[in-house]
Structure 1
Amino acid sequence: MSAHSHIDTLLSGNSQWIAHITASDPEFLPESVQGQTPGTLWIGCSDSRVPESVITSSRPGEIFVQRNIANQARLDDVSTIAALRFAVDVLGVQHVVVVGHSDCGAAEASWNAVSPPRHESGLPEGDFATVPDFPVDDPLNRWLEPLTRFAGSLNTPVGRNPVEFLIEENVKRQVAEISDTQIVKEVWSKRDLAIHGWVYELGTGRLRDLKVTRSRPAA
């Protein structure tokens, strides 16, 4: 498929979607103009195989979305923190869900970077490149560095796949860090808000709850 034919397919698909939604729910698009009231902020991976609306059978307006490589809720990332602020304080979502996924290329790259033969005894103290094909200061390597250092700190249980373990532990870590933000603490002082951690299994299409939900502390 040529680049142009792919774009044509996307535009054609949009026309088909408009025709379908207009026929099945004539008021949907006019009502969408009035605003959005999503119940959930989804912090997921940019991976094209994990489209949140598709895998949850959700419609436009139901999920507020922040996606990046390896579903990282980094506190030094203004985009993610701004999305969190807007979602909980302006839109009033009741849930924040951090969603990782199986077969994550970023997690595999991070694990490989801390494993033999690249590193026999952990990561170097200074700057390094998770993806050796790119310079150390490349945006991709700068973005992946915290995940790679986290990978280097893990002790994978016997019998576990180390990349799968990293994927799960990364989600758990993001849930903990979001829960510890001042934004969430301010919300918890006023109302309920739940922070969840899930993993999407590409091979089955299932969302798996890691059972690490954090909620408003009891008064």
Structure 2
Amino acid sequence: MRSHEKLLLENKAWAEEKKQREPDYFERLAHGQQPEFLWIGCADSRVPADVIVNAEPGLIFAHRNIANQVIATDFNCLSVVQYAVEVLKVRHIIVCGHYSCGGVRAALSHQQSDVTLVNKWLTHVKDVYRLHREELDAINDIDDKANRLVELNVIEQVNNLAYTSMVQSAWREEQRPLVHGWVYALDDGLLKQLITLGPESKIDPIYRWDV
């Protein structure tokens, strides 16, 4: 059996098990979604949002990209944020990075000629490194350095969310959402909270949107 065929069989088994336990399960899901969380995570196959927090479908609205970035010119990500905040009215946004992130580690080295588009994407992580160069260069172990950059990158992306008009407007008008920065450890499966920003958080005035 080929690998993609196994996935189709696993889907059938999963759907049958769900229907046996809850006959109206898929009917309820089909009526619409009201997720409480927006999850912005890394595209890494080892960090699936629903699985690592043991969540059922319908709880988490998700967007994933290399190194869990929120970039002002990425209309894909920002469209997800706008829909989640303004239409779905999520209460929380979680930016989740993970230790041993290949994208972050690559950002610590020279650009590679065989992955030009990835180089461009990782420029934003390199910017985070540049902002924290003194701290990071004081760390001798490359794994420790990369993992600290993972944390700093998550914090930077949480701040990038706070700079958006969608989040600031929701903070002002509805006192939501809380924006969290988490990091996931592949070696023990645990999440660590790094930062939380909310309506009362101080934002540099240069990033504030006019009322």
Q: Same fold (TM over 0.5)?
A: yes
| 1:147 aligned partner | 125
Asked if structure 2 preserves the Cα contact closer than 8 Å seen for 1:42 and 1:63, the reply is yes
**Distance in 2 (alpha carbons) for counterparts of 1:150 and 1:179:** 16
Verify: 1:16 aligned to 2:13, yes or no. Answer: yes
Is it true that 1:84 corresponds to 2:62 in the alignment? Answer: no
Gaps of 5+ in 1: 114-129
Percent identity at matched positions? Answer: 34
* CA drift at 1:177: 1.0
Deviations 1:102-129 (A, max 9, x none): 110001100123xxxxxxxxxxxxxxxx
Question: In structure 2, what is the Cα distance between the partners aligned to 1:215 and 1:149?
Answer: 25
User: What is the CA-CA distance between 1:153 and the residue it aligns to?
Assistant: 3.2
2:135 match: 156
For residues 39-50 of structure 1, what are the structure 2 equivalents within 5 Å? 39-50=36-47
- TM-superposed CA distance for 1:132, in Å, is 3.5
For residues 188-218 of structure 1, what are the alpha-carbon distances to aligned partners after superposition, in whole Å with 9 as ceiling and x for unaligned? 11112100000000000001111x1001128
Give the partner amino acid of 1:184.
Answer: V
State the alpha-carbon separation in 2 of the partners of residues 87 and 149 from structure 1. Answer: 27
Partner-residue secondary structure (3-state), 2:197: coil
Structure that is richer in helix per residue: 2
Any unmatched runs of 5+ in structure 2? Answer: 202-211
Q: What's the RMSD between the two structures over aligned residues? A: 1.5
The number of equivalent residue pairs is 195
Q: TM-score, normalised by structure 1?
A: 0.85
What is the aligned counterpart of 1:200 among 155, 160, 184? 184
Counterpart of 2:72? 75
- Residue 51 of structure 1 is aligned with which of 48, 72, 89? 48
CA distance in 1, matches of 2:108, 2:173: 40
Q: Which residue in 1 is equivalent to 2:63? A: 66
SS in 1 for 2:135: coil
Q: Deviations over 1:79-117 (max 9, x none)?
A: 01000000011001000000000110001100123xxxx
Q: Are the aligned partners of 1:156 and 1:162 in contact in 2 as well (CA < 8 Å)?
A: no
Q: 1:36-94: CA deviations, max 9, x gaps? A: 00000000000000001111111111100010000001111000100000001100100
How far 1:133 moved relative to its partner?
2.9
Equivalent in the alignment of 1:133: 114
Query: How far apart in 1 are the matches of 2:135 and 2:45?
Result: 28
| SS state at 1:112 partner | coil
Match of 1:35 among 32, 46, 56: 32
Write the deviation string for residues 9-46 of structure 1: whole angstroms up to 9, x where unpaired. 11011011101111111111011110000000000000
